[in-house]
């Protein structure tokens, strides 16, 4: 129905035909020729394209557009098609190249077509096709692709490619200007360091993968159970998975040790949802007497082809050896996906998908090689230096007068001045990155932090968008009962003992009443039925509220067997053993468990439950039995659950119901407090549930049951009829209480989020959980501040609805956005640019019901549309795609596994560590690398400037000024220590950076390394030219001295003086060199020392004065804080 919204003028068929005729005439008249292809293209053009031309900000009436506009739209799109050589020159060559590359990649990476399959139980050898190994693989390379892959990653940078070409040129005799090692030694060192670092990273990944793949599972064979590695599991194997064990591959659920034939699994590592999922075993195999009988039957599973959707599955189970053959349809509730965890009992399943074909792996993207923004900026600067190099060489050849083989001279000058682009830049930066990684891991304030990708520590200082998961990242996924509100009185955590006293007294009174009446149930029933008419005491209201909470749920108490018996014999003692320490609760939602645990803490304990009854234990130890007559489960549509129970002692029938306030407010009797109190609790970040009851007579219940059974048997509109019958019960219910449950946040989440917000980082929460839950956590974690409004994006299914809803959202100002995954998909399909633009203006965005691939898609969208750096934080397997897609991925070691932590660039143990990681280490890494990079360039520029002066003096000869080892020594041993000591520099103390996160905003502007700062360094380089100067320049650049910096300065000076003595042939000592005889006596004269000192003072003193004046006249933003 929604597809018929008039988004463009609705026209009759005749009008459309006439329009097409006009349009065809127009194109022919325009000289485009009568080509049938062009004609048909516009004739068949999708009319919905009309929406693309329409401004997004438009009222509903605006959709009725003037028809005449419609015909003029395509004219704007028509441009004269270029032909032949003109097309090739104007970009056609690029198109051809990309097309060829795409085709080659497609041919090389052609994937095997995925097909549906028939899987025989316990017979992997019967599989018709070969299926992938069940191995987890986070590695980027294999043995064959490692060296080519690493070399490609290095030489795609202009800097390294340039040096490779320069080094290769030295094999040509005419171009050789020095020893081979002066070029090949630095390049070889850079490549060796890089290959070693990548090899170590790759080996660590391999070791982590091996650990996961070596986990042992029990495999059922004809000869009994055998232990098998996770990576050796095949399609068709029967695998036994114990409680709290990870499911190794996608399976169909055949059998369980649970009596009910079902079990709960935890899926938060797969989809981010905190609720446990109920899975049902195939009834045909569950009914078999013993485990071994799985091999005595002849059965197979037909499964659809592997696909991305984790919420659906279609298949059939067939047993051929029975008469007639048994066919059972399989759906999502019969599946056990890989990366989920068994929460109850022991399960046996048949493997249907392994390795790359499992849902969890298909929803993760391949890891990409991440390149930091600083590296890209330095790459741009090296290109600018290359242009300067060409210009300088051309000027030299021009001044020579283009004599002789001038092109050879040009190339020799290019080689002489090649030090403008320093090869040591990569060495210094890579060693710097390794040093930052070491510092991060050694920081005692963030223990347990691991740097897994050592190439991008500077990214931590440039982040603008932070995507975070909810479950396990911001929250601990542990629910705690916080508030009980009865309308006139409210109880918090500090007054729960009062509730306990009321419960104890009320049950002791009812017990004495019952014994006084000789177990007659009539008097209490009379009192009970007349109770709503008079104002009941607080004690009786608490009693009713606690009883309702203890009965209205789908929780099952489970008693672990002390004996280590087989899984299927664990249930012998369940009915007798009610010891509290041996009891655990299982339910599909942790909220439910929190409520039942709370009723236990105040004295009313759920001790057993099956499909037809449940038992409660009172504070005095008396067992109350209730018969379960009907259960109406919770769904995301009705947002409430109900239960009808009969009290065994009184035969009284009661209908209890609990649900969200939006659903319950119309069902309960009129009151004046519910809405207000729900709002108050929601502002505290509590998840609220409204609890109500209705007493039924036997006749009322019998009437309801007959109508309900009839509705369940109807063939047409069954769901609607059943809902209508249930709604007839849901009228004028008595409001008992309002409960508030808190999902406990991780330690210091609120101050950390506030710090990140103050640092100018925009935070988006991407979660697979429900909308209400996500909104609650956004409020309680202060992701959305108390003063901000929240705009919940209404569900949209098509273009028209998305158009209207985006307009409604555009009218809101400074409000947080909450949107569900399916609505987001629709918006991105039709209005990608507009949606991202609007969302980026929000102070916070919450995307709920997001699949893993959607999370990664959102990250990529932000990168494309904003061009800013993104960071993703998560703890589960469902966050791996997002972490790998972001510029910087941070994984938190979760309770359920280390998948996110292993795939991330940085692994931390708690969310609060992000603050220090970004504010302190991010800042220092970026500032230090920016200074280091520019300093190394400055060093190369000095040498090139001196070479230019030298060549100019000696008639523009292409002769090197310094020989062999001296050049290598200058770039390494003479100046390396002080220059590298810049990695210890810091402009702001860590305490200040954490106290004033606003300082971080300056980093995101990228002012520490820009063309402006680069040009300043170029001018300084041209002005200076001496080794002593370089050491003094390091001293000039440093902001905070460290004792190692002083050591580095003197060490370098010592190395230089020592080499004067030992490498005298390089320095011209003791031989005639360019007409001047340099001897030790001259070097030690006062004249020589005076001249050197004067030159050094002239080269450095003005820069010191300028630096001092700049600090005084235009101090940096942090100077006031540090003074």
Active site residues: 469
Nearest 5°: CA angle at 399, between 398 and 400?
A: 85
Characterize the bridge pairing of strands 475-485 and 734-745: antiparallel
- Burial (Cβ within 10 Å: 0-12, 13-18, ≥19) of residue 1069: middle
Report the alpha-carbon distance of residue 236 to residue 233 in Å, rounded: 9
DSSP state of 675: H
DSSP SS3 for 949? helix
Which whole-number Å values give the CA distances from 856 to 312, 771, 850, 862, 889, in the listed order? 21, 19, 10, 10, 11
User: Which residues touch 812 (CB under 8 Å, ≥6 apart)?
Assistant: 789, 791
Report the alpha-carbon distance of residue 869 to residue 881 in Å, rounded: 17
Token pair listed for 388? 């300067």
Token pair listed for 424? 């040591």
Return the closest-CA partner of residue 588 out of 551, 638, 547, 641: 641
User: Which residues touch 2 (CB under 8 Å, ≥6 apart)?
Assistant: 797, 798, 800, 801
Token pair listed for 701? 């219940």
Contact (Cβ atoms closer than 8 angstroms) between residue 293 and residue 273: no
Place of tokens 């009539």: 522
User: Which residues touch 1091 (CB under 8 Å, ≥6 apart)?
Assistant: none
Report the alpha-carbon distance of residue 387 to residue 393 in Å, rounded: 10
Q: What is the dihedral of CA 207, 210, 216, 222, to 10 degrees?
A: -160
Q: Which residues of 124-163 are buried (b: 16+ CB within 10 A; e: fewer)?
A: eeeeeeebeebbbbbbbbeeeebeebbeebbbebbbbebb
DSSP SS3 for 897? coil
**Gap between the terminal Cα atoms of the chain:** 68
Half-sphere exposure for 714 (CA within 13 Å, toward CB): 16
The string of DSSP letters for 338-359 reads: TT-EE-SS-EEEEEEE-GGGSH
Q: Is 55 left (phi over 0), alpha (psi -120 to 50) or beta?
A: beta
Token pair listed for 1080? 């030790």
Spatial strand order in the sheet of 888-892: 450-451, 906-908, 888-892, 869-874, 463-468, 762-766, 844-848, 815-820, 789-792
The string of DSSP letters for 205-261 reads: HHHHHHHHHT-EEEEEETTEEEEEEGGG--TT-EEEE-TTPBP-SEEEEEEESSTTS
Q: What is the dihedral of CA 847, 850, 855, 861, to 10 degrees?
A: -60
DSSP SS3 for 81? coil
Cα 305 to chain centroid distance, Å, stands at: 27
Characterize the bridge pairing of strands 605-609 and 613-617: antiparallel
Return the closest-CA partner of residue 806 out of 833, 825, 829, 834: 834
Report the alpha-carbon distance of residue 27 to residue 72 in Å, rounded: 12
The total number of residues shown for the chain amounts to: 1123
DSSP SS3 for 431? helix
């Amino acid at each position: 129905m929604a597809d018929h919204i008039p988004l463009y003028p609705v026209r009759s068929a005749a009008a459309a035909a006439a329009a097409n005729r006009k349009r065809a005439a127009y194109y022919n008249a325009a000289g485009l020729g009568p080509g049938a292809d062009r004609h048909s293209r516009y004739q068949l053009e999708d009319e919905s394209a009309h929406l693309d031309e329409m401004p997004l900000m438009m009222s509903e009436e605006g959709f009725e557009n003037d028809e005449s506009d419609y015909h003029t739209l395509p004219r704007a799109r028509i441009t004269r098609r270029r032909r032949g050589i003109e097309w090739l020159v104007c970009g056609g060559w690029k198109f051809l190249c990309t097309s060829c590359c795409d085709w080659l990649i497609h041919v090389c990476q052609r994937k095997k077509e995925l097909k549906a399959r028939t899987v025989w139980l316990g017979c992997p050898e019967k599989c018709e096709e070969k299926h992938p190994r069940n191995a987890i693989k986070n590695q980027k390379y294999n043995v064959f692709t490692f060296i080519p892959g690493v070399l490609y990653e290095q030489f795609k940078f202009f800097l390294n490619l340039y040096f490779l070409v320069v080094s290769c040129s030295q094999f040509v005799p005419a171009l050789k200007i020095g020893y081979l090692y002066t070029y090949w030694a630095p390049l070889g060192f850079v490549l060796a360091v890089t290959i070693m670092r990548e090899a170590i990273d790759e080996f660590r990944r391999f070791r982590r993968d091996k650990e996961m793949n070596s986990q042992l599972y029990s495999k059922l064979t004809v000869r009994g159970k055998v232990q098998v590695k996770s990576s050796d599991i095949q399609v068709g194997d029967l695998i036994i998975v114990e409680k709290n064990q990870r499911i190794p591959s996608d399976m169909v659920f055949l059998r369980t040790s649970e009596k009910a034939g079902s079990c709960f699994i935890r899926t938060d590592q797969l989809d981010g949802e905190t609720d446990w999922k109920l899975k049902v075993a195939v009834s045909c195999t569950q009914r078999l007497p013993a485990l071994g009988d799985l091999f005595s039957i002849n059965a197979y599973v037909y499964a659809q082809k592997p696909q991305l959707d984790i919420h659906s599955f279609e298949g059939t189970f067939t047993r051929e050896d029975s008469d007639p053959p048994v066919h059972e349809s399989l759906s999502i509730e019969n599946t056990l996906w890989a990366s989920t965890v068994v929460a109850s009992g022991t399960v046996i399943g048949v493997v249907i998908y392994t390795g790359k074909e499992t849902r969890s792996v298909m929803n993760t993207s391949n890891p990409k090689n991440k390149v930091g923004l600083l590296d890209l900026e330095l790459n741009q600067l090296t290109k600018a230096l290359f242009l300067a190099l060409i210009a300088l060489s051309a000027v030299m050849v021009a001044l020579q007068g283009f004599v002789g083989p001038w092109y050879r001279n040009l190339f020799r000058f290019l080689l002489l001045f090649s030090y403008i682009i320093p090869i040591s830049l990569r060495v210094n930066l890579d060693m710097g990155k390794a040093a930052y990684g070491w510092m991060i891991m050694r920081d005692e304030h963030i223990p347990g932090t691991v740097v897994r990708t050592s190439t991008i520590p500077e990214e931590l200082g440039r982040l603008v968008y932070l995507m975070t998961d909810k479950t396990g990242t911001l929250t601990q996924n542990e629910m705690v009962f916080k508030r009980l509100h009865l309308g006139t009185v409210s109880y918090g955590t500090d007054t729960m003992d009062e509730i306990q006293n009321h419960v104890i007294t009320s049950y002791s009174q009812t017990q004495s009443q019952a014994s006084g009446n000789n177990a007659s149930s009539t008097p209490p029933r009379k009192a009970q039925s007349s109770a709503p008419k008079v104002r009941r005491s607080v004690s009786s209201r608490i009693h009713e509220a606690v009883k309702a909470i203890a009965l209205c749920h789908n929780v099952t108490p489970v008693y672990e067997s002390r004996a280590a018996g087989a899984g299927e014999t664990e249930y012998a003692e369940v009915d007798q053993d009610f010891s509290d320490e041996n009891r655990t609760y299982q339910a599909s939602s942790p909220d439910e468990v929190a409520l039942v645990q709370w009723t236990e803490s105040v004295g009313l304990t759920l001790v057993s439950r099956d499909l037809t009854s449940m038992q409660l234990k009172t504070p005095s130890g008396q067992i109350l039995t209730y018969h379960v007559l009907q259960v109406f489960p919770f769904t995301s549509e009705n947002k409430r659950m109900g239960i009808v129970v009969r009290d065994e002692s009184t035969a009284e029938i009661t209908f209890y119901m609990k649900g969200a306030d939006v659903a319950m407010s119309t069902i309960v009797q009129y009151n004046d407090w519910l809405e207000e109190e729900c709002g108050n609790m929601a502002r505290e970040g509590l998840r609220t549930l409204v609890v109500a009851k209705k007493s039924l007579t036997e006749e009322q219940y019998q009437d309801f049951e007959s109508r309900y059974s009839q509705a369940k048997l109807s063939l047409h509109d069954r769901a609607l009829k059943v809902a209508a019958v249930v709604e007839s019960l849901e009228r004028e219910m008595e409001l008992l209480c309002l409960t508030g449950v808190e999902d406990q946040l991780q330690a210091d989440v609120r101050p950390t989020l506030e710090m990140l917000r103050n640092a100018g980082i925009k935070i988006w929460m991407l979660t697979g959980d429900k909308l209400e839950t996500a909104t609650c956590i956004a409020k309680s974690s202060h992701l959305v501040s108390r003063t901000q409004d929240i705009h919940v994006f209404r569900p949209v299914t098509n273009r028209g609805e998305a158009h209207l809803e985006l307009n409604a959202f555009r009218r809101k100002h400074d409000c947080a956005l909450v949107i569900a995954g399916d609505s987001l998909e629709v918006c991105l399909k039709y209005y990608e640019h507009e949606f991202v633009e609007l969302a980026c203006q929000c102070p916070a965005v919450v995307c709920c019901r997001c699949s893993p691939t959607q999370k990664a898609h959102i990250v990529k969208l932000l990168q494309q549309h904003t061009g800013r750096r993104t960071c993703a934080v998560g703890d589960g397997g469902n966050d791996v795609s997002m972490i790998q897609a972001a510029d910087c991925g941070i994984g938190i070691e979760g309770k359920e596994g280390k998948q996110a932590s292993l795939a991330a660039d940085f692994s931390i143990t708690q969310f609060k560590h992000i603050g220090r990681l970004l504010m302190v280490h991010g800042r220092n890494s970026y500032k230090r690398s920016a200074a280091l990079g520019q300093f190394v360039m400055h060093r190369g520029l000095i040498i090139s400037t001196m070479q230019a002066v030298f060549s100019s003096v000696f008639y523009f000869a292409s002769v090197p000024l310094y020989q062999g080892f001296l050049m290598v020594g200058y770039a390494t041993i003479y100046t390396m220590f002080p220059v590298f000591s810049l990695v210890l520099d810091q402009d702001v103390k860590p305490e200040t950076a954490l106290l004033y996160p606003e300082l971080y905003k300056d980093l995101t502007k990228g002012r520490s390394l820009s063309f402006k700062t680069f040009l300043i360094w170029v001018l300084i380089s041209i002005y200076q030219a001496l080794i002593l100067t370089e050491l003094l320049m390091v001293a000039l650049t440093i902001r905070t001295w460290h004792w190692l910096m002083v050591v580095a300065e003197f060490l370098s000076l010592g190395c230089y003086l020592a080499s004067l003595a030992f490498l005298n042939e390089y320095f011209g000592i003791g031989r005639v060199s360019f007409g001047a005889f340099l001897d030790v006596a001259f070097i030690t004269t006062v004249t020589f020392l005076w001249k050197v000192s004067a030159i050094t003072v002239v080269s450095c003193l003005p820069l010191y004065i300028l630096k001092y004046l700049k600090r005084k006249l235009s101090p940096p933003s942090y100077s006031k804080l540090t003074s």
